[in-house]
Structure 1
């Protein structure tokens, strides 16, 4: 009986913890497709769950960071949603590949053309962004989620290191260590010189292998000839002995 009571109490405690953790985890978040490396480019997804039982999400506004402006921002088409991109003038121009950039995207807005995100569903909104900053470990994207009943949820609270998660946290993109190439990915392709060196090494190896095969064939041929001669000589001697 005691064991059963303990098991039941434990199950109730776990269920309660899950129920309490559910709503806290259901907020607008951002995740990269792959790695978001410092100094590179990345495709990121804003995941928007619908938290209401009696209304649909009909608009998402994402404000891009102004302390680390992104010179390149493009949105992927999302069926059933209209996309508006807002640009703002920069206080300090960006230098991108030797070109001065005086304005950058400051906000991206998705507005539903139809029913939006229904209760119990979520939607992802992709963006291609870059060049990611090299002097930051994360980027904060403040977002506003609008429901069909006119309610607006402001996901704008910045989390603090070591602190508890805010009630309405802003989406945070964690940045990884710089990649080997300039586009946020590992440099898989080797340079021309390296490729030529590898090609030369491979050719030399093939030549050495062919030479070794030829030498082996020649040695075996010589051995075969010697064995044949020995066989003939043995036959002649055997014939002479029978005659004698």
Structure 2
């Protein structure tokens, strides 16, 4: 009887809001987190701001961050903003063949941006911002490769390409879906360790309908527990009366 009651109580606890998320947070690795926060994601959108938020997960602060931009479906008219205490360097590439855009064929694009810390900094979040005149057309995701370097020389890398015959990178390139509602896209890796686990974006806030549904489920489970306890109690009394 005690085992049955304990199992039902555990089921009730699992239904409580936040119980599952708290357990997941406890098992998440403590590492550097990289999040893309776009203000617009429509294919072909103009005047788009992309924020790459890098949060240190280790006492050694990040001092360098390089972002490799797609060249197959390029971002047109890219400019980089340097946060306070950082310098930004933009690399451009001449395309082998002009890429079509709403403003006509494009022959030169930004292919990489490097940010370097120019003064000592404490660990914490830092925003690296890109301004894009024109986003790519089509509904497929836009992929970004990135490398961060901390003051101790450790690196964290996000990429989907590697040398032939070499080990496959533990972390894929960052993917920004076009045509969906804006939401952060996050990947985390243990600082200095290329075998960290990827984590999903933070869950959205609970809605009133979701809270009501959870409360109803908890009440139903509680009622079932009371009925079971009464039945077990009557059975035990009958057994003792024999």
TM-score range (shorter-chain normalised) is 0.5 to 0.7
1:43 shift after superposition: 0.5
| 1:192-212 deviation line (CA, Å, top 9, x unaligned) | xxxxxxxxxxxxxxxxxxxxx
2:47 is the counterpart of 1:47: no
* Unpaired segments ≥5 residues, structure 2: 162-168, 181-242
- Matches of 2:152 and 2:65, distance apart in 1: 14
Match of residue 37 from structure 2: 31
2:86 is the counterpart of 1:81: yes
Q: Of residues 147, 153, 157 in structure 2, which corresponds to 1:154?
A: 157
Contact 1:139-1:175 within 8 A present in 2 as well: yes
> Counterpart of 1:141 in 2: which secondary structure?
strand
> Counterpart of 1:27 in 2: which secondary structure?
strand
2:78 is the counterpart of 1:67: no
- Matches of 2:179 and 2:21, distance apart in 1: 34
Contact 1:27-1:168 within 8 A present in 2 as well: no
Match of residue 212 from structure 1: none
> Is the radius of gyration larger for structure 1 or structure 2?
1
1:4 shift after superposition: 8.5
Match of residue 26 from structure 2: 19
- Matches of 2:103 and 2:172, distance apart in 1: 36
Match of residue 227 from structure 1: none
Query: TM (normalized to structure 2)?
Result: 0.58
Residues 30/152 of structure 1: CA separation in 2 closer, same or farther (3 Å cut): same
After TM superposition, list the pairs within 5 Å mapping 1:135-214 onto structure 2: 135-157=138-160, 167-176=170-179
Match of residue 94 from structure 1: 99
2:54 is the counterpart of 1:57: no
Considering fraction of residues, name the structure with more helix. 1
Contact 1:145-1:152 within 8 A present in 2 as well: yes
| 1:54-78 deviation line (CA, Å, top 9, x unaligned) | x110011000012111221012231
Match of residue 230 from structure 1: none
1:16 shift after superposition: 4.7
| 1:108-137 deviation line (CA, Å, top 9, x unaligned) | 011001124x33x21111111142122232
Match of residue 112 from structure 2: 107
| 1:124-165 deviation line (CA, Å, top 9, x unaligned) | 11111142122232101100000101111111148xxxxxxx
- Matches of 2:102 and 2:160, distance apart in 1: 34
- Matches of 2:20 and 2:75, distance apart in 1: 45
